[in-house]
Structure 1
Amino acid sequence: MRSTLLILNTLGWSAVVTVNALANILPINGYTTGELSDKYPNLFTPAGFTFSIWGVIYLGLLASVSFSMYNARSSEKNTGTELIGLWFFISCLANVGWILAWHYQLVGLSVCIMFVLLFSLIQIYRNLGVGIRAVSPAEKYMVHAPFSIYLGWITVATVANITALLVHWNWRGWGLPANFWTAAAILLATLVALYILNRTNDFFFVLVLVWAFFGILYKREYQDPNPYPVITTTAIACGLLLLYRFFRNRAYHKNPAYF
């Protein structure tokens, strides 16, 4: 079973990297991923440089797959490979499926697939026991950390995808301004991060959200001709709150499973 999972994980990672690269090189259906994002303008989408985190995610996942291969002959039961099970391969299928749905402008379908991706990553996160199960430093940083970063970014991406769908539907926000809903989305993401912090004190998950909030702040302050003080204030306040809670938890709770 372990060897089968390793093969599937390797194929899954390769498919994700290949399809995501082709999506922008060809590009698929005549649009790059960023060009399609620009078709659904909203205040939650962060600055373009923020998406460079995908490079970190792909390298992290490669490290995770490589670590699993290195430990393939281990006699230890419940290794990372077995704890993850088929969920990583499912997440890879969802990632590829999302790219295809997004590039063919099936926005509603892309949101559904994004939820599959999010759910699969949550299952991986729980099965690994990130921030709960004490593991070796190598496993912590080559397996747990990559999935923390991936889950953090897909949490943000899910909110952004839903926002794009609402723009696609010409949703008017029930009469409330767009900056109100953007601030609400930032607060929602912050609540999710606070929940994660209370359970695992996951530094990498928090860092990803702070990075996303910085991207939103930068775009609104330096790339948008209109000021949005509600959004920038919310992004700064939420980012600082998350960092404060992380360092406070780390100071008061000495847990070897924490990063």
Structure 2
Amino acid sequence: MDDVSKKTLLQIGNLLTPILCGVVIALSGLDFSSTVISDAGYPKILNPAAFTFAIWGPIFIFQFMFYFYQARDIFRSRENKIEMPYVHEVSIFFMLSWISTSAWYVLWGLGLVWPAVGAMFAYLLSSLGAYLRLGINLRPRSLKEHLFVTVAWSLLAGWVTVAAIVNTTTGFVYSGFDSGPIGEDGWASIILLMALGIYLLVLVRRNDFVFAGVGFWAIVGVIADLVDPVNMAQPSATLVAILGAGILSVAMIVWFYLQNRRGIISFPSFRDFNQDGNQPSHD
């Protein structure tokens, strides 16, 4: 099978998979708000405040921008096809991401916590698969391609990273996890430090301010939940979260300044909307 035929098959699969997943979710009869937002019945060590889940708005907007952008030549004749290397780079991972998140939705809604955690990690792996294959910020791309392709995967991978962490801790607590001498406050602090390390690493290794920005948003959501007087006080975790948000925000500002001075990154210009940017590899 040649590349054009492979691309067409991927495009068709990308178009059909979200529709089929939506049908499955609709037939499940599960309530979206109670499944994803109001899951107070599940114990957890860390839990971002409800407003944090508004991140799904931008995620789905950019995912559907990619959804339509990658299919814009599907009805053209073979000789008029557009070169879209990112379709081959994303490969089957767009489809796998929709299948795994739909599986998570159904399993979580049915109360099957550990199978749902497994589905969440499948979601994470499929998101990272596309993220890594795209080589985000490691090769030149036009501003248009960033907006319609890479931002979607930076947002998704950034959010599913923290979602997988939270889901895993939920699974442990649900199964009777013994927090030991450091208590839940200590474990929450450790988890926050791990998450902070991941977001800082991606910021430095990939110059990915979108991914890091999602991490900042998630930590702000955790802070809002920790300082809520209704919840049990966790002073250590609260301090770590506040410091983490401060460190990550300062790191993004300082790193942008340094990389801008080196000529590696710059403010986007809509004059270069269709032209490849100059973003050399940061490896």
Calculate the TM-score normalised by the size of structure 1: 0.89
Letter in 1 for 2:129: Q
Match of 1:168 in 2: 174
Match of 2:111 in 1: 105
Which of 35, 44, 47 matches 1:45? 47
Aligned length: 254
Match of 1:60 in 2: 62
1:232: how far off? Answer: 1.9
Pairing 1:6–2:38 present: no
1:132: how far off? Answer: 1.1
CA RMSD, 1 decimal: 2.3
Match of 1:135 in 2: 141
1:75-86 map, 5 Å: 75-76=82-83, 79-86=85-92
Match of 1:208 in 2: 214
Change (3 A) 1:222 1:12: same
Distance (whole Å) between structure 2 residues aligned to residue 249 and residue 30 of structure 1: 37
Distance (whole Å) between structure 1 residues aligned to residue 230 and residue 25 of structure 2: 28
Verify the 8 A CA contact 2:35 2:108 in the aligned structure 1. Answer: no
Verify the 8 A CA contact 1:13 1:62 in the aligned structure 2. Answer: no
Which of 231, 234, 250 matches 2:240? 234
Distance (whole Å) between structure 2 residues aligned to residue 139 and residue 166 of structure 1: 40
Match of 2:36 in 1: 33
1:214-225 map, 5 Å: 214-222=220-228, 224-225=230-231
Which of 124, 127, 133 matches 1:121? 127
Distance (whole Å) between structure 2 residues aligned to residue 225 and residue 93 of structure 1: 34
1:43: how far off? Answer: 3.8
Q: Deviations over 1:82-108 (max 9, x none)?
A: 110011111111111111111121111
Distance (whole Å) between structure 1 residues aligned to residue 92 and residue 149 of structure 2: 15
Letter in 2 for 1:61: Q
Distance (whole Å) between structure 2 residues aligned to residue 189 and residue 29 of structure 1: 26
Q: Deviations over 1:113-159 (max 9, x none)?
A: 21111111111111111111120101111210111010011001001
Q: Deviations over 1:226-256 (max 9, x none)?
A: 4322222211211221222222222222324
Distance (whole Å) between structure 2 residues aligned to residue 211 and residue 129 of structure 1: 24
Deviation larger for 7-16 or 200-209: 7-16
